[in-house]
Amino acid sequence: VFCLVCYLFRWKSRPKNFPPGPLGIPMLGVAPFAGSKLENYLASFYKKYGGVMSFRLGPKDWVVLNDLEAITQAFTKQGESFSGRPKSVVFDQLTQGCGIVFANGDRWQHQRRFVLTALKRLGMGKRTMDAIINEETNRFIASVQLAGGTVSILIRRLQANNTCNFLSGKHFDYKDKRLQAIIDHRPTGTIVQVIGIVKIVIETVASHLFLLPSFIPPLFMLLSNHKQSLDENNLCDFIDIFLSDMKKQKGDFFTKLQLCHLIRDLFVGGIDTTTAALGWGIVCLLNFPECQDKIHQEIDQIIGKLNYAVPNMSHQEKMPYLRAFIQEVHRFQTIAGLNIPHCVTEDCILYGYRIPKGTPVMSNIWFVHNDPAHWQEPQKFRPERHLDGDGKFIPSNRVIPFSVGHRSCLGVQLAKAELFLFYAGVLKHHEFQVDPNFGLPDWSRDDGGTLKTPKDFTVCIKER
């Protein structure tokens, strides 16, 4: 009885002046009440606790940022203090602290600078970003027209090739087993792996994720080929740039192990989220055909119907409706509702609350995208909400699919280009039509991971 009383006393105790929020029940916290949509559950406390609250999951207290103002204050204005990632023994053992997504401290800061610099250099290469994306979009169209297939699988192949091209300068045939090995390297979750409810399950899933044997051979093949053909006077892709720096830099930040985990992180980040965004965009085009008609009209007016008129990023400024459509897809179908957790790197004060060092922090992006105080009828898909009275596009700081601050997506410009050029490239001469053998895809979510992706569906692409 004494031990039980002591446990319950400790259970109810929290750090002094810690953000308020539900404790749930002993040992489990809020897990039995949250259901499968944790972001919705946490948003339900917004009126009671405001933008900064906490909740307990298992034995751990978490802080949740439930509105844009709190997210911006923490991740941007106090970015250094909120730039860490939660510690995981399994992740540390498997990666030895390498990579970038879950790296911390000097390694993360150093690799972040390197990735941003390398991506900037690649955008100025002989094969421009636009050309690579357009070529791959044409292969996607041809593949769908020739043999059909599940949209999510075909888009993953497209995105894997886009990513592979930027990282290694290599493109795979869609039937190549090496490409299949890369796209099979799919994370089964992010938040669940870090915060999950049962530690044994977390470690088993994480081990499977990071040691997928099918992914290792093509990765080492890419690295070996680059080492043999490296030309310091002609650095063509991301791996070339890293290998060149590896010869010049000393220390642990430019090693073969770091490169392997960095490439793995960039592959996962470059494939999964954009694949989900493109998938939801196609679902929206099929469910709201009037949107496709308006995009067709804009393409005809700005890019033109002639074959030699190829979409490029300079067209984006002149195409407000397509930009509004893409922004509304991001808002309407939030892919990562709680994003990857952050961790406080030092004791700090946020909105008067004391948050101790090491506290994990979530950002409720889903609620930012669906807050009725800022979005009229947020449950409805309406691209026009992102256009002003003159039909000009309104970039919204309340649509944050790539997050904000120090840990925001490093490849945001590439992702935006992939989305814009995909829709412009496909819809220039074609239209998406419902596959009569499948029917109209609905808004059902694939439960295979924590990213919100559409369930598998097929589609027809017909010439206009």
Is 166 part of a structural domain of the chain? yes
Taking the C-alpha atoms of residue 460 and residue 431, their distance in angstroms, rounded to an integer, is 8
Cα separations in angstroms, 241 against 17, 122, 220, 248: 48, 9, 17, 11
Structure confidence by residue, pLDDT tens digits, 256-310: 888 888 888 888 888 888 999 999 999 999 999 999 999 999 999 999 988 778 9
Is 416 part of a structural domain of the chain? yes
| H or E element in which residue 43 lies | helix 38-43
Is 1 part of a structural domain of the chain? no
Structural domain of residue 427, as residue ranges? 20-463
Name 150's bridge partners.
Answer: 458
Is 92 part of a structural domain of the chain? yes
pLDDT on residue 127: 54
pLDDT on residue 193: 36
Handedness of CA 322, 327, 328, 332 (dihedral sign): positive
> Which segments of 352-425 are extended strands (E)?
353-355, 360-363
Is 14 part of a structural domain of the chain? no
Structure confidence by residue, pLDDT tens digits, 72-129: 999 999 999 999 998 877 667 767 778 898 889 899 999 999 999 988 887 754 457 8
pLDDT tier at 350, thresholds 50, 70, 90:
very high
Q: Taking all residues of the chain, what is their mean pLDDT, rounded to a whole number? A: 85
Q: Which of 61-65, 149-153, 298-302 has the lowest mean pLDDT?
A: 149-153
Taking the C-alpha atoms of residue 240 and residue 245, their distance in angstroms, rounded to an integer, is 9
Give yes or no for a contact between 55 and 42, defined as CB atoms under 8 angstroms apart: yes
Determine if residue 409 is labeled as part of a ligand binding site: yes
Structure confidence by residue, pLDDT tens digits, 404-426: 999 999 989 899 999 999 999 99
pLDDT on residue 125: 43
With b meaning 16 or more CB within 10 Å and e meaning fewer, what string describes 399-422?
bbbbbbbbbebbbeebbbbbbbbb
Structure confidence by residue, pLDDT tens digits, 228-254: 778 888 888 888 899 888 888 877 788
Is 100 part of a structural domain of the chain? yes
pLDDT tier at 399, thresholds 50, 70, 90:
very high
Domain total in the chain:
1
Is 11 part of a structural domain of the chain? no
Q: State the CATH number of the domain containing residue 136.
A: 1.10.630.10
CB atoms within 10 A of CB 39: 24
Q: Pick from 8, 88, 25, 81: which is nearest to 353 by CA? A: 81
Specify the pairing of strand 60-65 against strand 360-363: parallel
Is 179 part of a structural domain of the chain? yes
